[in-house]
Amino acid sequence: MHSNDPPILLILGLLFLLGLAADLVGRHTFVPRVTLLILAGLAVGPVGFDLLPEALVKDWFPPLTTLSMSLIGFLLGEKLSGAGLRAHGRQVMGITIGETTLALVAVALAMLAIGVHPAAALLLAGVAAVSAPAATFDVVRESGVKGEFTDTLLGVVALDGAVALLWFSLMMAAASGVEGGHSVLFGLSEGFREVGGSLVLGVILGVPMAYLTGRIRPGEPTLAEGIGFVLLCGGVASWLELSPVLCAMVMGAVVASLARHHHRPFHAIEGIEWPFLILFFILAGASARVSALLMVSGITVVYMLSRCIGTFAGARAGAAWARSSRPVRRWIGWCLFPQAGVALGMTLMAVQRFPDFTHLLLPVVLASTIIFEIVTPAVTRRALQAADAESVRESS
């Protein structure tokens, strides 16, 4: 007896080729690859032609989300190593902490003000803290602008993901406490407990990984070593109800700090990350429903506006605290609005734990991600040009 659904290998093969096409188009147009993959997911999902078996999205998506975010967290951990933090300096640290913190606070207050459930408000606030490093890197490369401003900007977006993941882990744990009928303060205390447990687990797994990786094949870690530890980290964290992405990030930071016997402890993981992310983003788009997107359109607008205001104000405050140059203070905030893959991954992790909020969280972040990725690169490009021109005037 044959199933009416096509074989799963056929579907996966077509999805990978769809990801290849999106990659190719993204390299020759202004539209980011992540946006194209999400739009492809919308096209093959219920919003579009409804071509994917429901079991694929339902059964494969949760573990794929955990795996993808664990890979992202592990790679971001390199930015939180001792050498990574020293390379960023006071200016980048100040701006990063300022923009992530005020984006979180602004979105939380705005969501509460319009009557969003407190737990959902905390979750959206945690997602709001992160930006899109890849989109910003692409714009900087295309603009050809170089100097202090671009060096600072690239440092901020590189560190932003790691800091934002710390905030998100705290907010998700706090939302668990609030959803359980407790106060926000109790939820935050529970959040610190979960974050603390995730930090400890990351260290416990990171130390043996730092020692073992790269010793089977001297000089570089093998793929089996890298993916084995990342899967172990994500699985144990999920089992203990901790944060898989935070555990993986701490494990990555420990490996980057302690693995002195080879130069690139993240090389093996970098080589396999993109195929998983192709499936992740396409299935994320396929998870959307038209009715849900329309229902939360007003909340999406408030989310986007409050995030932009908080990000801009926080970046400016952080730059003022760090005594940055005038061009950095004036223009850095305009370059931090893009938001893409990591934000979507955070949201999908949140809806796994809080399924009752799926029809609020996923449409808001999915719609805002597409708009941010299409509109804000032009804003970033204009800010780069303005900052470069102002720097030239000041130096002349």
CA 37 – CA 280 distance, rounded (Å): 9
CA 76 – CA 170 distance, rounded (Å): 17
CA 250 – CA 245 distance, rounded (Å): 9
Q: Report pLDDT for 392.
A: 73
Task: Write down the pTM of the prediction.
Answer: 0.77
Three-state SS at 129? coil
CA 140 – CA 160 distance, rounded (Å): 16
- Return the exposure string of 132-155: e unless at least 16 CB atoms fall within 10 Å of the residue's CB, then b: bbbbbebbbeebebeeebbebbbb
- Please choose, from the candidates 31, 30, 253, the residue with its C-alpha nearest in 3D space to the C-alpha of residue 162: 253
Q: What is the pLDDT along the chain (396 residues), one digit of tens a residue?
A: 445 666 777 888 888 888 888 778 877 776 767 778 888 888 887 777 777 777 776 777 778 777 877 887 787 777 666 665 665 578 888 999 999 999 999 999 999 999 999 999 999 999 999 887 766 776 777 677 777 788 888 788 878 877 888 888 888 888 887 877 666 666 667 667 777 888 899 899 988 888 777 665 555 556 777 788 888 988 898 888 787 878 888 888 888 788 765 555 555 566 677 787 788 778 777 777 766 666 778 899 999 999 999 999 999 999 999 888 888 888 999 989 888 777 888 888 888 888 889 888 988 988 888 888 778 888 888 888 888 887 777 666
Helices 133-143, 148-179: inter-axial angle, 10-degree rounding: 170
Q: What is the CA radius of gyration of the chain?
A: 21
Tokens representing 316 are 């400016």
Domain locations in the chain as residue ranges: 30-391
State the first-to-last Cα distance of the chain, in angstroms, to the nearest integer. 79
- Fold of the CATH domain 30-391: Na+/H+ antiporter like fold (1.20.1530)
- Please choose, from the candidates 361, 258, 322, 284, the residue with its C-alpha nearest in 3D space to the C-alpha of residue 68: 284
Three-state SS at 3? coil
Contact predicate 40/18, CB 8 Å: yes
